[in-house]
Each structure stands twice: as C-alpha cells, then as structure tokens.
Amino acid sequence: ILVPIKAVIMNLLSIAAAYGVVAAVFQHGWMGSPIGVDAGPIEPFIPMMLFAIVFGLSMDYEVFLLSRVREEYDRTGDAVASVADGLASTARVITAAAAIMVVVFASFVFEDNRSIKMFGLGLAVAVFLDATVVRLLLVPAAMELLGARNWWVPGWLDRLLPRLTIEHGAQPDPAAVTTGGDASPRGQDQP
C-alpha cells in the first residue's frame, strides 16, 4: 500500500519543481534572456502535457528501482540492505537514461517556438531532479525509513491479488496463495 502512495508523492515533487521553473522563466522572466524569452503567459496545455510526460518518465525510473529492490528483499528479507543493493545496481542505468533525456529535452530550448522551449526546459528540469534528487536520494531514504512496511498489504487485499513472479522459471507458492500469506510482510494484517 505504501509503495504506490510514495511513488505518486515523489512523482508530484518532480512535476511541481518543473512547473515552478517554467513559471519562473517564462511567466516571470527570471533568467529568460539567456534562452531568448520574455515574460509572458504560459500556454494552457503546457502544464497538462508536462504532467503526462513527466509522470510517465518518473514511473519508469521508479519501476527500474523498485523491481530491483523487491528482488533483493525477496531474496534476503532485509529491507535496509535490499534498498542499498537495489540502488547500487540500478543507479547507473537510471542516471544514464536520465542524462540522455535531459540532453535531448534541454536541446529544445534552442528552438524558436516558445511552447517548445517551455516543454524542453520543464522536461529537462523535471527529469534531472527526478533522477538525481528523487530517485537516488529521497526514494531510498523513504524506503529505508519504512523498512518492511514498504511491502505490507492488508490481508483481505492480499487474498484477492494474484501471486506473480518476475523471475524466469520461478513459480509462485500455491500454499501462500490459498492461505493468504507467507513469511513476508505481505499478507499480514498489521503494518
């Protein structure tokens, strides 16, 4: 229950930061002259499109990180070590993917069209902050503080959800499905 809530909150941080930078540069004119823009209104569709694109990219980075953390947690049962190991194995992938996206989006700032400049700056800032501050600092810190509660699911919901595995050849334990729980925090009624 906590993982998706945390994911949405963290994604909204990146989106809010991007909105702030776009408003500061394009609406208020702060640092607008280096990229050739004057203060003016923000096109109404820009915030909606930024939200959709940034939310999708943020979720992509979240899935990279969380899938690896969960694999480590399933293997070891140690919530703190699984976060550290998951971050260590995915940090380079997330950083490299984000670096490519930041360079591409930042290049949009050199376009003459004001809307394209807004997209470019907003997306570059959002992806940069999401991949550095959010994914590599805030998410691991929150997950370490939450510990095993990251993976807690209420018993009634656990009985309704299918048991799936991402490992090739591994089969979910049928006994865990019929009994509604296993040794992990998933299936326990208490967080």
Q: Which is it for the CA torsion 54, 79, 4, 74, positive or negative? A: positive
What amino acid is encoded at 124 in this protein? A
Instruction: Work out the average pLDDT over 26-52.
Output: 87
CA distance 14 to 122: 10
Query: Which DSSP symbol is given to 187?
Result: T
Domain count, the chain: 2
Q: Which two tokens stand for residue 119?
A: 């997209």
Measure the CA–CA gap between 102 and 34, rounded to whole angstroms. 18
pLDDT in tens, 168-178: 665 555 444 44
Residues 166 and 91 in one domain: no
79 and 160 belong to one structural domain: no
93 and 123 inside one domain: yes
C-beta separation of 36 from 108 below 8 A: no
The pLDDT value recorded for residue 171 is 57
3-state class (DSSP) for residue 85: helix
Instruction: Label residue 164 by pLDDT band (50, 70, 90).
Output: confident
CA-wise closest residue to 3 among 89, 79, 97: 79
pLDDT tens for each residue of 122-145: 999 999 999 999 999 999 999 999
First to last CA, the chain: 10
**pTM across the whole model:** 0.79
Q: Are residues 164 and 137 in the same domain?
A: no
Nearest to 139 by CA among 67, 75, 85, 65: 65
Domain encompassing residue 23: 2-151
Decide: residue 95, CB within 10 A, 0-12 exposed, 13-18 middle, 19+ buried: middle
Same domain, 99 and 166: no
Token pair 């990251």 in the structure block, residue? 150
Shared domain check, 166 and 110: no
